[in-house]
Structure 1
Amino acid sequence: MIQVINRALDLLEQIANDPERPKALGDLADSLNLNHGTCANILKTLVARGYVEQIGTKKGYILGSQSYTLTANEAYRKDLLEASREEMDALTQAINENCLLAVLKDNQRIAIYRTFAEQDLQVRTTDIKPIYDSASGRLLLAMLPKEKIQRFIAKYGLPSDESWPEVQSETQLLDSLALMRREELALQTIANRHVMGLAVPIYKNGLVVASLSIYLPEYRYMAMDKQKLIASLRQCAKNIHKRLN
């Protein structure tokens, strides 16, 4: 048997015993009689591949989205899903537009739940999308602490002209993100598709854990009461927050 594979599987099983409760590196290593350095290296690989997710620098590790994807298990972020389904279904019924719940993973936003309207023309977006390419991704990035935003920019660079044409420099990017953070709202116009995206944050215990967004054709957005639409989106996010807390 290959020892490092066994150790990686042991770590996954240990985390999966209680997948939503973060487990510290030291606790994981000690429970499996692993050298702390060896354990850290294995976890680093599992995090990079998406099978494990690190919650902060000290809180520990939980299962990542890829672990659930392997079994087509919708339990990823189970608390979020349980709190969001009913509220998002109600929002879609009220406004008759598609809604999306998403979380941040590296330089991507990952959709973990969707609702669909009964419109003849609907806007569909992929489950995984680069952060800069979506209102939900931009909002999640904007709500990160400033030092994490700087690390993100240093690692992944600025958006391309195609993904975010309004942003041409780091200063413009930081200004745009700061405005989203202040307003707790991201608006995106996808001109070549005539699509509008709107996103707001969802909080749990004072931290932003997800984004709630609406995507719709631009012509329907322009004909709507925009303030009422945004208010409905914000209210849904608040209702999810109450259920989470």
Structure 2
Amino acid sequence: MSRHSTNSPPGNGVKSAQRTLDVLEILAHSERALSHAELASRAAVPKSSLTQLLRTLQARDYVESMGPNGPYRLGASAVNLIRHGQDIQRLVASARPHMERLALGTRYSAGLNILRGDIVERILGVTADEASGYAMHEGVRAPLYASSSGKLFLAHMKSEDMTSYLDRVQLRPITSRSLKSASELRRQIRLAREEGVAYSRDEFTRGIVGASVPVVSAHGRMIASLGLAVPSAEFDAQKDTVLTHLRKAAHGISTQLSAARTAP
């Protein structure tokens, strides 16, 4: 039996990683659970090596065995990973037009961030014209304590999760304005919870104030933050306008996501 059509180019990458991805891709493309022998044949992996690989994948719930020795299918972790990727794609697609209007209306760059452990990651950036002086690049990661989006996620966490973070975090300086005091971070988190907006004043990027508001699910849970990068010298004069546009865009994204979820 020939290998699956998505086999890796020979000689590239780490063999164990290639084998892992091959097995997952084979199971993902199969309409039924596959036996150990079928997997070994399709992936061109020695049976003894496949046994060890399957044990690891089963321990992490990426592969599920239907019996003592197979047949095998994708496990809950793999399915959840696929669903999470699809959720991110829907979020980005829903947010993009609202963020483009936001950047056009304010002439400041906009970013959409999600929570990944103790950091936030920008999954979509829309850069305004050159007058804004700051570009939003996707893939940028920032500590929770240094970014407006991170502080906003902390404000929306369960009390015990926030306390656990504050107990373990080390406030390493990123700029000269980065927070040095846990008590000041707590104060800003409390304000973000009360006002529904969080700020980072030159704490992650010098000369830039970040302002972020939540994007929420149909159940009211914060799933992302929407932020603007405003030159520090302009922020105080533009604050009210910035927050009005920012909240309108976040509401539009949240509403669109809820409508898409309830659509037949």
TM-score by length of 2: 0.64
For the residue of structure 2 that corresponds to 1:216, the secondary structure is: strand
In the other structure, the counterpart of 2:134 is 123
In the other structure, the counterpart of 1:150 is 163
In the other structure, the counterpart of 1:101 is 112
Equivalent positions of 1:1-245 (< 5 A) are 10-11=23-24, 39-41=58-60, 61-63=80-82, 77-124=88-135, 127-131=139-143, 132-154=145-167, 156-162=168-174, 165-169=178-182, 171-190=183-202, 193-205=206-218, 206-224=220-238, 226-245=239-258
Change in Cα spacing, 1:188 to 1:3, as seen in structure 2 (3 Å) is closer
Task: Tell whether the 8 Å contact from 2:110 to 2:136 is kept in structure 1 after alignment.
Answer: no
Structure 2: 5+ residue stretches without partners: 1-14, 37-53, 63-75, 259-264
**Matched AA of 1:238:** H
**Matched AA of 1:219:** A
Task: Tell whether the 8 Å contact from 1:204 to 1:244 is kept in structure 2 after alignment.
Answer: yes
Task: Tell whether the 8 Å contact from 1:161 to 1:167 is kept in structure 2 after alignment.
Answer: yes
CA distance in 2, matches of 1:16, 1:142: 41
- 1:103 deviation in Å? 0.5
Task: Tell whether the 8 Å contact from 2:103 to 2:109 is kept in structure 1 after alignment.
Answer: yes
CA distance in 1, matches of 2:34, 2:181: 49
Q: Which runs of 4+ in 1 moved over 3 A?
A: 2-17, 31-38, 40-43, 161-167
Structure 1: 5+ residue stretches without partners: 18-30, 44-53, 69-74
Change in Cα spacing, 1:32 to 1:144, as seen in structure 2 (3 Å) is farther
Greater RCO (Cα-Cα under 8 Å, separation 6 or more) = 1
CA distance in 1, matches of 2:189, 2:22: 39
In the other structure, the counterpart of 2:9 is none
CA distance in 1, matches of 2:83, 2:162: 21
CA distance in 2, matches of 1:221, 1:64: 38
Task: Tell whether the 8 Å contact from 1:97 to 1:215 is kept in structure 2 after alignment.
Answer: yes
Change in Cα spacing, 1:42 to 1:234, as seen in structure 2 (3 Å) is same
- 1:203 deviation in Å? 0.3
For the residue of structure 2 that corresponds to 1:210, the secondary structure is: strand
**Matched AA of 1:122:** G
CA distance in 2, matches of 1:4, 1:182: 46
CA RMSD, aligned part only?
3.6
Aligned sequence identity (%) = 19
**Looking at CA atoms only, which structure, 1 or 2, has the larger radius of gyration?**
2
Change in Cα spacing, 1:61 to 1:232, as seen in structure 2 (3 Å) is same
CA distance in 1, matches of 2:244, 2:106: 11
**Matched AA of 2:222:** V
CA distance in 2, matches of 1:143, 1:229: 22
